[in-house]
Structure 1
């Protein structure tokens, strides 16, 4: 069996205090130097286990220990679902990579960018490669995944370390879509969420907090999936609502307006993260409790958590938890299975790309 040693040396930039998930203040962004094999000797190459198929899972990333556990559980689920493949896992966010390595929340983990794992997979010459996005909607972050895979397929990823063109010409590259890729999947997810939370919906509002994209970054017009999911859930109960932290017109105050328009002005509101994992957004923007998460002078401020916002507007906020943490979607086996099914049914990269960009030649 051919053995390829792992050489993983990454130059960490200065860490800032901003959250891993996102931050619009450029001064708070962690800056990562350009990597090349020449000056960093970075290669994420793993000895093949005798299999000719590889699955690369691409998450945005996180620094929370409960999120690491969700990633581990997801990788194990994929290994069980794809016994004929080697399964790899990576983060697309440089900031999350840096801060996970630094142990921002106590546990240190080393994750790497897709380009290094893709180069490793190519160097090991797997015959078939599945790249699975663990995003919820096909928005900005998924567009970045698509760009990464296209660059790999075009042999343009790592400077001065090009892969074998003959290999790349023959390798099968499949692209797995995000959770809510089309309207049929919206309906499927709505049914599964109702199966999980119908008892809560019988007692009060069940509000899901997704991420969403700012208007300028709404790739593939994916924000509509949140509206569609709310509509699909309300077929089961008027008590289901779906909002975001970053989609204009669908913030927590917009959710409350829609609730009041249906005469829901008080009562319990159960809060759940509509994100792959429960990271900074779930712990802070959604579930943050106490004075640090409420500014009465700016009640709709994005710094005010959903928990405090609804508590201060006549509702009783409840954040269901498991092992003292809210859950992300990857921790719900029936929802996670949809991602697995996407991988099993993943189109070849060229077909998937042209279905998203029909004008492309």
Structure 2
């Protein structure tokens, strides 16, 4: 017997233990997708085992991992799945997620994947425009320094390419680095000093403003980006706002779901 087609969208995120940024970023992305595809069920999965365990212990809150979400959809009679990651790049987390999803291929009639935020050249341009729109009121004498995550995966090259694209698209005052890879703080300090701004605004280039944003970027430790820039003589203003709060970024994820639907 052939089952009637029943399509669902699984939104996969790394996750966060910060309730406020979860609501402002992850929930907002899911809501945008839900509003764009009211005919589809929307499911959630997070990939960080550490965060899932912390939420369970601290809040008694259970959020499905990828395997649990796939099992839940199969149990609910879903026949066709579109998986949309909220990952920034096609890195290690995304590779693992796809492997976990595809282990359930026999349970569904079809499984399709939307792409991470920065996949195509059009994505890169749209992301730059979204950031420029968000910080349109910054004076050219103010530098905006964005903190990306960074990875040992070859996809890390996206960050340096995007930094170049900001300049190419008319924003010489915007700099993008990473907390765990290249370009890092050493390169950022060199470039920002050469630009010689009157103020440095720091913001995360991550889906949520979580641990990295609160601690590595704007924290009290001597090696936080805030303190390193202040020690270099700059007046620094941190903005704890994840990419999920940017309308242009949410729209980009919706377009990725549309592309996967049309495949």
- Do the aligned residues in 1 keep the contact of 2:145 with 2:175 (CA within 8 Å)? yes
**Within 5 A, what are the aligned runs for 1:42-61?**
52-61=6-15
Alignment of 1:205 with 2:143, yes or no, is yes
**Within 5 A, what are the aligned runs for 1:237-248?**
237-247=171-181
Gaps of 5+ in 1: 1-49, 156-162, 295-303, 321-325, 352-361
Distance 1:95 1:176 in 2: 25
User: Of 46, 51, 55, which aligns to 1:100?
Assistant: 55
Find the counterpart in structure 1 of residue 191 from structure 2: 258
- Do the aligned residues in 2 keep the contact of 1:266 with 1:314 (CA within 8 Å)? no
Distance 2:131 2:112 in 1: 28
**Structure 1 length normalisation: TM-score?**
0.68
User: Of 10, 14, 32, which aligns to 1:77?
Assistant: 32
What RMSD over aligned residues (CA atoms) do the two structures have, in Å?
1.9
SS at match of 1:73: helix
Alignment of 1:346 with 2:238, yes or no, is no
Distance 1:100 1:190 in 2: 33
Find the counterpart in structure 2 of residue 148 from structure 1: 100
**Structure 2 length normalisation: TM-score?**
0.92
Distance 1:188 1:252 in 2: 25
Alignment of 1:134 with 2:89, yes or no, is no
Find the counterpart in structure 1 of residue 244 from structure 2: 330
Distance 1:187 1:101 in 2: 38
Alignment of 1:228 with 2:161, yes or no, is yes
- TM superposition shift of 1:266: 5.1
**Within 5 A, what are the aligned runs for 1:28-43?**
none
Find the counterpart in structure 2 of residue 311 from structure 1: 230
Alignment of 1:284 with 2:236, yes or no, is no
Find the counterpart in structure 1 of residue 201 from structure 2: 270
**Superimposed CA distance per residue, residues 38-81 of structure 1 (whole angstroms, 9 cap, x where no aligned partner):** xxxxxxxxxxxx98111111111110111221322222222111
Moved beyond 4 Å, runs of 4+: none
Distance 1:283 1:271, change over 3 A: same
- Do the aligned residues in 1 keep the contact of 2:26 with 2:207 (CA within 8 Å)? no
- Do the aligned residues in 2 keep the contact of 1:57 with 1:89 (CA within 8 Å)? yes
Which of 1 and 2 has greater Rg?
A: 1
Between Structure 1 and Structure 2, the one with more helix by share is: 2
Distance 2:19 2:36 in 1: 24
Find the counterpart in structure 2 of residue 182 from structure 1: 120
- TM superposition shift of 1:201: 4.7
**Superimposed CA distance per residue, residues 146-189 of structure 1 (whole angstroms, 9 cap, x where no aligned partner):** 11122121x4xxxxxxx4xxxx3xx1211011000122211111
Alignment of 1:124 with 2:38, yes or no, is no
SS at match of 1:234: helix
Gaps of 5+ in 2: none
Distance 2:36 2:197 in 1: 44
Distance 2:219 2:229 in 1: 12
Distance 1:94 1:123 in 2: 23
- Do the aligned residues in 1 keep the contact of 2:143 with 2:200 (CA within 8 Å)? yes
Distance 1:253 1:144 in 2: 30
